[in-house]
Homo-oligomer: A and B are copies of this chain.
């Protein structure tokens, strides 16, 4: 069994210091043992030096070696067994079943990236043949592959202590890309972070990789994260968290002597459009589905449905009549941290105090740091006038927007900021209106759903968990799914290099058997260049 010691994990070395902090059980407010060493700029510098020295060796690993390493991390996380589940539940207030499911998602994600690396998804090789007889000038022989960018800083998120934390999607995609990772562990779940960090470290050492491939620095100061992003050896940043936090990191990264990319997933209210025929056909079922999505996990999802848009009328009245008592009777679930619970309560008070907003339902009081679900309604005109109604309230609060007609619904869609998701509930009779809204929503959101709920993000090849600002700081990528690997790769071209000196992935005989783009045509796996 792996122990939690409270150490900072610098490569293979445990570091303990005098400055410490404790985790808190948000369900009781009680402090949890042991004390965790506060990492700061000095530890960042050591971790960055280790990562920089590990990078040349790690990025040169074969796809198979990197994939086996990712698989080993997944197995090591599973081997932590109930120790991990119990600690994560204690530190986050999340139910055992949810944590267990999240563990499956996390290990599945590592294994999906392993399979994607084996399939050539990191290298994406391209070969253009020499054309010595071309006029007016011959063409050289050109080969392209992708390599890791360099050491990557990953900021663990509070709301997914496994899937968006130490061994979460950012870490998995960066390691898959051949980049060493330094995780800034979230101080709300330091024990969970240490357990997972030790699982990664064990895989690093068992694979004979250099120790600097992974370090974990956890602490409570802003200085820690700032030092990490500012370190010249860090070449990219993955972050999931608040808009203010993400933008602060973007600014640090942009003002370095060498600017680096920050992939920050920040803020989304995830509009849900209930189109007329669907609303008419199943207002009550929609209300049940909606409240389930809204209140799941105390609403602490980036994809929580914070906005419901529909036409005024009897069908919307039925939806509201069905949803309101469900919200009022929803249990008050414990939120992740006192800070998050406080911000949620404040966000709800702000909505309540708006002149044009009516409270429809408010859940019962609960224990310490709990989330009372809340449902509000307003008119489209008020929403279009008042920017505060578009602000994310992180937790189980949602706002219904009554629209006078389809034009007003389209105006609301057009006024939205960038989103992770946009959802349409529709029937065949709604297709014309959906077709009108879709082009607008495509420019606003990374993922468009029909007849589902945005909470629940599949880890696969076609997923986009991203979107225009402020949903993320860079809409050209995703933080979930195999496409996420591209964030941490850069292309390198080889011109007329002798075969013997070329990396295996671009050699003519294709010794690794990867699929490649040869003279502009996709060549399936296993084929040599003719």
Task: Report A487-530 CB contacts with B as 1/0, cut-off 8 Å.
Answer: 10111111111101100000000000001010110101100000
Partner of A491, one of B258, B426, B466: B466
Indicate whether A140 sits within 8 Å of B452 (C-beta atoms), given known contacts A254-B259, A259-B469. yes
1/0 per residue, CB under 8 A from B, across A454-475: the answer is: 0010101111101011100111
Specify which chain B residues have a CB less than 8 angstroms from the CB of A140 in the assembled complex.
449, 452, 458
Chain B CB within 8 A of A483 CB:
yes
The yes or no answer to A379 lying at the interface (CB within 8 A) is no
Q: Are B450 and A483 in contact (CB under 8 A)?
A: no
Contact B448 A491 (CB under 8 A): no
Copies of this chain present in the complex amount to 2
In the bound complex, CA of A140 to CA of B464 (Å): 13
User: Shortest beta-carbon distance, A143 to chain B, in Å?
Assistant: 6
- Is A79 part of the binding interface, using a Cβ–Cβ cutoff of 8 Å? no
Q: Once bound together, how far apart are the Cα atoms of A144 and B501, in whole Å? A: 37
One of A368-376, A397-405, A438-446 at the interface: A438-446
Instruction: Determine if A70 is an interface residue (Cβ-Cβ < 8 Å).
Output: no
A136 near B: Cβ within 8 Å?
A: yes
**In whole Å, how far is A167's beta carbon from the nearest beta carbon of chain B?**
21
B contact residues around A42 at 8 Å (CB): none
- Annotate A119-134 by CB proximity to B: 1 below 8 A, 0 otherwise: 1000000111000000
Question: Looking at the complex, which one of B137, B462, B469, B496 makes contact with A449 (CB distance below 8 Å)?
Answer: B496
Most B CB contacts (10 A, CB to CB) among A137, A140, A469, A470 go to A140
The distance in angstroms between the C-alpha atoms of A386 and B136, with both chains bound, is 42
Decide: A475 near B149, CB < 8 A? Known: A142-B458, A448-B493: yes
Interface check A348, CB cutoff 8 A: no
A492 B448 Cβ-Cβ under 8 A: yes
Tell me if A128 and B496 are in contact (CB < 8 A).
Answer: no
Nearest B residue to A427, CB-CB: B498
Chain B neighbourhood of A494, CB < 8 A? 447-448, 450
Whether A438 touches B501, Cβ cut-off 8 Å, given contacts A144-B463, A443-B56, is yes
* Beta-carbon contact of A447 and B493 below 8 Å: yes
In the complex, which residues of chain B have a beta carbon less than 8 angstroms from the beta carbon of A361?
A: none
Residues on B with C-beta less than 8 A from A426 are 498
* A142 & B462 in contact (Cβ 8 Å cutoff): yes
Which residues on the B side are within 8 Å of A478 (C-beta)? 491, 493
Residue from A438, A476, A520 whose CB has the most chain B CB atoms within 10 Å: A476
Q: A139 within 8 Å of B by Cβ?
A: yes
Tell me how far the C-beta of A448 lies from the nearest C-beta in chain B, rounded to whole angstroms: 5
A442 and B59 CA atoms in complex are apart in Å by 11
A451 at the interface (CB under 8 A from B): yes
Known: A259-B469, A261-B476, A450-B501. A463 touches B493 (CB 8 A): yes
A24 contacts partner chain B, Cβ-Cβ < 8 Å: no
A435 on the interface (CB 8 Å rule)? yes
**Which single residue of chain B is at the shortest CB-CB distance from A489?**
B476
CB distance from A51 to the nearest CB of B (A): 13
CB distance from A524 to the nearest CB of B (A): 7
List the B side residues contacting A435 at CB < 8 Å: 501
A495 touches B149 (CB 8 A): no
- Say yes or no: B520 contacts A116, CB within 8 Å: yes
B448-A497 in contact (CB<8A): yes
- How many Å lie between the Cα of A259 and that of B339 in the bound state? 28
With both beta carbons as reference points, the residue of chain B lying nearest to A251 in the complex is identified as B254
What residues of B have a CB within 8 angstroms of the CB of A31 in the complex? none
CA distance A445 to B115 in the complex (A): 29
B469 touches A493 (CB 8 A): no
Other 10 A-B pairs with CB < 8 A, given A142-B460, A448-B497, A461-B517: A56-B439, A139-B460, A144-B483, A431-B501, A446-B492, A450-B496, A452-B496, A464-B492, A476-B491, A522-B524
A contacts, CB < 8 Å to B? 55-56, 60, 101, 104, 115-116, 119, 126-128, 136-137, 139-140, 142-144, 147, 149-150, 250-251, 254-255, 258-259, 261, 424, 426, 431, 434-435, 438-440, 442-443, 445-452, 456, 458, 460-464, 466, 468-470, 473-478, 482-483, 486-487, 489-498, 500-501, 515, 517, 519-520, 522, 524-525
What would be 7 A-B contacts, judged by CB atoms less than 8 Å apart?
A128-B458, A147-B443, A431-B498, A446-B492, A449-B497, A476-B487, A486-B486
